[in-house]
Amino acid sequence: MKIAIISPYPPIKGGISKETEIIYSNIKDTYDVSIISFNRLYPKFLYPSDTQYDHSININDKNIKYDIDILNPITWNKVARYIIKNKFTHVIFRYWNPFFIPLYLFINWKIKGRQSNIKISCICDNIYPHESFFLEKYFIKKFFLNIDNFLVMSSESEDKLRSLINPKTKIVKSFLPLKENINLKISKKDACKKLGIYNPPKLLLLFFGFIRDYKGLDILIDSLDSIKELDIKLLIAGESYIKTDKIKDSIKKNSLSEMIIWHKKYISNEDINLYFSACDIVVLPYKKISQSGIVPMAYHFDKLIVCSDIKSLKEHIIETETGYFFKKNNSNHLSSIISTIYESHDFKKSEDYINKYKYKYSFENYLNHFEQLL
């Protein structure tokens, strides 16, 4: 068996890239596997940050290739020829956005025309994109009908996928695994000191990752107004994909500046442990989501999660034990939940629960699902 995984890979930024790195590092000694990644993942207008790359990472592995330019179909053809020439028996597409469907359809069509027996799988991080666009369902269905089997990360994604494909097509339901390529937890005191937080509050909330509309940072900011007399601060860590003027106006209007610590930058692997070690609660105020890599990351550091009551999040969290739910888009309910945790939550008890529960999300368990694609 010879496997090609087509996916973003470090130094490209983002959770999907990091998760593919975990997969590859765990299977490369067992399988003949290559990663085919991108030398340009997005055009500039779709990626507002200064760079798509984490320049602190240097990859030197002959089985990892950065051959795809999303804007250059000549590179698509080059990749298809590479797969055919090297007689790969299995191609796995990492799918999260229909923007990449023309690329994936072309490669699929090209290699199937020359190797009809090649197996095509898809790891689906989303079914529909978080930000919708015209004719998305048509293109998504066209791509999915050419896939032999799928790996999805939630029951909600499985249900959506079922409506788009042949009912006999195999779907393996899995989860995003615990992070293995990040540093270990340190004490809250030491982490806060390294982050320049010299007077840590009783309760430090963390909003982590790329800032996008669907992630609901505005809901979290609004929730702080009624609890600003408590010893609580919010640490925001991540680059922004959106203009944050309205959020900044809300912070100023409600006199929340003293409550908020904003590190508006990409957080490298080396520093992730500082942010999760410093916080007491990880907040996911998402307006919609099919899965989130922040959940296993929070569990990796034994952190309590507060999230909106979206189906795909609820199946990974045990209420009051590993986390709490608030009504989606309801900042008042979120305020109430945070206040309750502040007054009475037993963090030692929830840490014990998380320690027992999180092994469900080990890579060994994930690998059992992944291997069902092969």
Structural domain spans, the chain: 2-173, 188-360
List the single range of 39-48, 140-149, 266-275, 340-349 with lowest mean pLDDT: 39-48
Give me 218's structure tokens: 């505005």
Considering the domain delimited by 188-360, tell me its CATH architecture: 3-Layer(aba) Sandwich (3.40)
> Environment class of residue 134 by beta-carbon count within 10 Å: exposed (0-12), middle (13-18) or buried (19+)?
exposed
Up-side HSE of residue 317: CA atoms within 13 Å toward CB? Answer: 32
Average pLDDT over the chain, rounded to an integer: 93
281 DSSP β-pair partners: 205, 304
Query: pTM (2 decimals)?
Result: 0.93
pLDDT per position as a tens digit, 160-212: 999 999 999 999 999 999 877 788 999 999 999 999 999 999 999 999 999 99
3-state SS, residue 87: coil
CA dihedral 326, 209, 96, 312 (to 10 degrees): -20
pLDDT per position as a tens digit, 34-65: 999 999 998 877 666 677 888 788 899 999 99
3-state SS, residue 63: coil
Q: Is the peptide bond before 200 cis (omega within 30 degrees of 0)?
A: no
Q: Are domains 2-173 and 188-360 of this chain identical in fold? A: yes
Do 365 and 330 form a contact (C-beta atoms < 8 A)? no
Give me 34's structure tokens: 């290559």
114 pLDDT above the threshold of 90: no
Q: Does the domain formed by 2-173 have CATH 3.40.50.1100?
A: no
Do 3 and 88 form a contact (C-beta atoms < 8 A)? yes
pLDDT per position as a tens digit, 267-302: 988 999 999 999 999 999 999 998 899 999 999 999
